[in-house]
Amino acid sequence: MLLDDFGINQIVTDMQNKNLNIEKLLFKYNPDKKYVLVDGDGIPGVIQESDFYENFKENLIYTDLSWLAPLCSTFSCNLEAKVSVEPDGSFRHDRVEMVANLQVPKRVGDNLLGFLYPRFKNFVKFYPFIKSVEVRGYQSKVCNIFFNLEIDTQKVNKILRAKDNINRQLIEQWLYMIDKCERDNAMSDRYSNTFLVLNGKINYESKTELISHYFILDKSKRREA
């Protein structure tokens, strides 16, 4: 369990005091800094029935126990999840937008595929829900892989309990594509490539690239550079 009773009660109390009509919740999990941030986005000045707050609290507890804590433990990386809140205070658990940020430490060096293989085994279980993958790199090396998912969280526990749902062919395809991405950007100082995922496979032909330029406004620093 990631969310304690005190924090959950505090969120509900803040909503009641501000008469907030919460429409979306954003959960941010950081395993390195050991915190979960919960942001609520809504309209102030809307008086709710008492059932709304009871439903909201029950759904917040359900979120933590049924899919937030299990997925954070499984992916073991920075995770953001956005869920819609219905007018009665319940959550849309069947359609949660999620971004998992798998960071690649510098110490990995040339052992990128060896580092990724065991971690991809956890992500591949959820391949039907992966919409796209973004690969970011610095000084030619991959440093971040973002998995963008739209997930029916009511299926999370069933997926995690299954013991034979490791699709090794997909893992091999992912590794090949990530390796190709790094090789194709060998001469790039910074890069960000996004690929659509179709039936679990990274579609390299759908690649989009980000370009950016850093403008130095201090002329003296520009001369020094």
CB atoms within 10 A of CB 182: 20
Same domain, yes or no, for 190 and 223? Answer: yes
Same domain, yes or no, for 106 and 71? Answer: no
Same domain, yes or no, for 126 and 171? Answer: yes
Q: In what order do the strands lie in the sheet with 141-151?
A: 35-43, 21-30, 78-84, 96-103, 141-151, 130-138, 190-198, 201-209
Query: What is the Cα–Cα distance from 215 to 50, expressed in whole angstroms?
Result: 53
Same domain, yes or no, for 125 and 188? Answer: yes
Same domain, yes or no, for 221 and 114? Answer: yes
Domain annotation covers residue 157: no
Q: Mean of the pLDDT values across residues 4-11?
A: 95
Domain annotation covers residue 13: yes
Same domain, yes or no, for 16 and 45? Answer: yes
Q: Per residue in 172-205, pLDDT tens?
A: 999 999 999 999 999 988 999 999 999 999 999 9
For residue 30, the enclosing domain spans 1-93
Q: Mean of the pLDDT values across residues 16-29?
A: 93
Same domain, yes or no, for 39 and 72? Answer: yes
Domain annotation covers residue 152: no
Give yes or no for residue 165 having a pLDDT over 80: no
Give yes or no for residue 152 having a pLDDT over 70: yes
Same domain, yes or no, for 203 and 222? Answer: yes
Domain annotation covers residue 156: no
Domain annotation covers residue 176: yes
Give yes or no for residue 222 having a pLDDT over 70: no
Q: Per residue in 33-76, pLDDT tens?
A: 999 999 998 888 888 888 999 999 999 999 999 999 999 999 99
Cβ atoms of 115 and 104 within 8 Å: the answer is yes
Give yes or no for residue 221 having a pLDDT over 80: no
Query: What is the Cα–Cα distance from 58 to 66, expressed in whole angstroms?
Result: 12
Domain count of the fold of the chain: 2
Query: What is the Cα–Cα distance from 146 to 78, expressed in whole angstroms?
Result: 10
Same domain, yes or no, for 48 and 89? Answer: yes
Give yes or no for residue 212 having a pLDDT over 80: no
Q: Mean of the pLDDT values across residues 130-143?
A: 95
Same domain, yes or no, for 72 and 176? Answer: no
- Kindly report the average pLDDT of the chain as a whole number: 92
